[in-house]
Amino acid sequence: MLRKEQNELLTRTGPGTTMGEMFRRYWIPALLAEELAEKDGPQVRVRLLSEKLIGFRDSEGRYGLIDEFCAHRGVSLWFGRNEECGLRCPYHGWKYDVTGQCVEIPSEAKARGYRAGIRLRAYPMVARGGVLWTYMGPPAHQPALPEFEFAMVPPEQTYMSKRLQYCNWLQAMEGGIDSSHVSWLHRDALRSDPLMQGSRGNQYNLGDAMPVFEVAEHPAGLFIAARRNAEGGNYYWRITPWCMPSFTMIPPRGTHPVHGHFWIPLDDENCWAWSFDYHPARALTAAELQAMRDGKGIHTRTIPGTYIPLANRDNDYLMDRAAQKAGATYSGVAGIAMQDASLQESMGPIVDRTREHLLSTDTGIVKARLRLMRAARALQKGEPPPGTDPATHRVRSAAVILPADATFVEAAREALMARPGMAPASV
């Protein structure tokens, strides 16, 4: 349970908010590289941390992320013309380059000196691992580019998708570090999803629905471990790294690719669920890629031309009561992504955490909230937040069997580090 002001602190990420200031100290995913594939191609609206921006790619292939609205009289530059190294407002022709600098005011002969002083807010945007990342914080504190393993492996080993989720980023992220719900909500997927099925670990997940949680700190965040009974008095551990502020990685299953998420606020009541799958040691197979495009695993099918899920709140997530009754799905909603999103959206745009009743299986969530609040408050006093150094991003999830007396964070130390070319530790 949180006090009202703690819930406010954690969930508000607009300009000037405590958590917003902290989010702005990290590189975060802004767009899929495929959204700005062509030079001088169509620009796209980007809403991030409650700011309205426009992303575009200029004639030289440079990426720009600038204020959505023209400095002249506030027209949305989504209507603009992307041409000759800049975005031109269609109202009176003012033109801006990728740095937000106004480079032309063609409607007035004497505007030359005047335009030099006109510059739209702009943030850097850089491609890495199929993602266009942005940094929206103070330029003096801009860290080196992120080095999460999914973004560093060769392109044929990694796949990224994103979908819009209609709720605050934190309640979506809290689902990402909550291993306990898998034994319930996703039990059908463990049996039938092509990107999950067939691993021995699934049996432990289904066989022991009362995991015991342990949490250990790492420099960028936490390792959240859920322990279930295995044979011979050993334990099956599923270990989820969480990196501040909102990167989570799901433990692997068998020889399947590994997956995880970024949960990025558009504004306080909506977030992007970024979803990646990669294998550190091999290319993804054609069948795996097809399954991901078909919305299997943690991905989802979206309305063509958008990143809005096909099953969404307007159609009750295609609820199938017969499938629910027959046990084909546990909640009646199909697919892991929308099983999660439907329930998280059902809590309302920002869940009231003053009314919750937490248990020991929520330990990871409690500790992550505490770490976020502590870091956000410390930043207000000038202490830089943890996890901005790319060296701290080189973590991995793991699924391992350990003897009963082992301490997970020590026994699985190697397995929890990104090791180029090495397969994940997985059961």
Binding residues for ligand FES, rule: CB under 6 A, are 70, 72-73, 75, 89, 91-94
Instruction: Read off the DSSP letter of residue 387.
Output: T
Least gap, CB of 109 to ligand FES (angstroms): 15
User: Binding of Fe ion at residue 345 (CB under 5 A)?
Assistant: no
| Alpha helices by DSSP H, 69-167 | 112-116, 149-152
The pair of structure tokens assigned to 74 is 């506030």
Which of ligand FES, Fe ion, none is residue 340 near (CB under 5 to 8 Å by kind)?
Answer: Fe ion
If phi over 0 gives left and psi between -120 and 50 gives alpha, with beta otherwise, what is residue 2?
Answer: beta
Of ligand FES, Fe ion, none, which one sits near residue 242, judging by CB under 5 to 8 A according to partner kind? none
Quick one: tokens of 139?
């330029």
Q: Tell me how far CA of residue 303 lies from CA of 165, 220, 272, in angstroms.
A: 13, 35, 15
Residue 297 or 386: the one with the smaller Cβ distance to Fe ion is 297
Which CB sits closer to ligand FES, 62 or 92?
92
CA–CA separation, 216 and 360 (whole Å)? 15
Q: Kindly tell me which of 193 and 340 has the beta carbon lying closer to Fe ion.
A: 340
What's the min distance (Å) between Cβ of 118 and ligand FES?
A: 11
Residue 111 or 283 having the CB closest to ligand FES: 111
Query: 3 or 73, CB closer to ligand FES?
Result: 73
* Residue in the structure block whose two tokens are 């799905």: 329
| Alpha helical stretches, state H, 200-302 | 200-207, 286-293
89 vs 379, beta carbon nearer ligand FES: 89
Which does residue 92 bind out of ligand FES, Fe ion, none, counting CB within 5 to 8 angstroms by kind?
Answer: ligand FES
Shortest Å distance, C-beta 313 to ligand FES: 35
The one segment of 122-130, 241-249, 338-346, 385-393 that binds Fe ion by CB under 5 A: 338-346
91 binds, among Fe ion, ligand FES, none (CB under 5 to 8 A by kind): ligand FES
CB of 327 to ligand FES, least distance (A): 58
Nearest CA to 136 out of 146, 128, 125, 145 is that of 125
CB of 77 to ligand FES, least distance (A): 8
Q: What are phi and psi of 201, to 5 degrees?
A: -55, -35
Supply the minimum distance, in Å, between the C-beta of residue 175 and Fe ion.
Answer: 5
Q: CB nearer to ligand FES: give 27 or 94.
A: 94
Burial 377-416 (b: 16+ CB within 10 A, else e): eebeeeeebbbbebebbbbbbbbbbbeeeeebbeebeebb
Q: Does residue 193 touch Fe ion according to CB under 5 A?
A: no
> CB of 94: closest distance to ligand FES in angstroms?
4
Closer CB to ligand FES, residue 77 or residue 399? 77
The residue ranges of DSSP E strands in 253-384, in sequence order, are: 258-267, 270-278
Q: Where are the beta strands (DSSP E) in 152-234?
A: 158-165, 212-218, 221-229
Q: What share of the chain is helix, strand, coil (3-state, %, to 5)?
A: 30, 25, 45
Does residue 340 interact with Fe ion by CB under 5 A?
A: yes
∠ Cα 229 427 277 (to 5°): 125
Q: Does 174 participate in binding Fe ion (rule CB under 5 A)? A: no
Q: Contact region for Fe ion (CB under 5 A) — 115-123, 246-254, 335-343, 390-398? A: 335-343
Q: Smallest distance, Å, CB 339 to Fe ion?
A: 6
Residues that bind Fe ion (CB under 5 A): 340
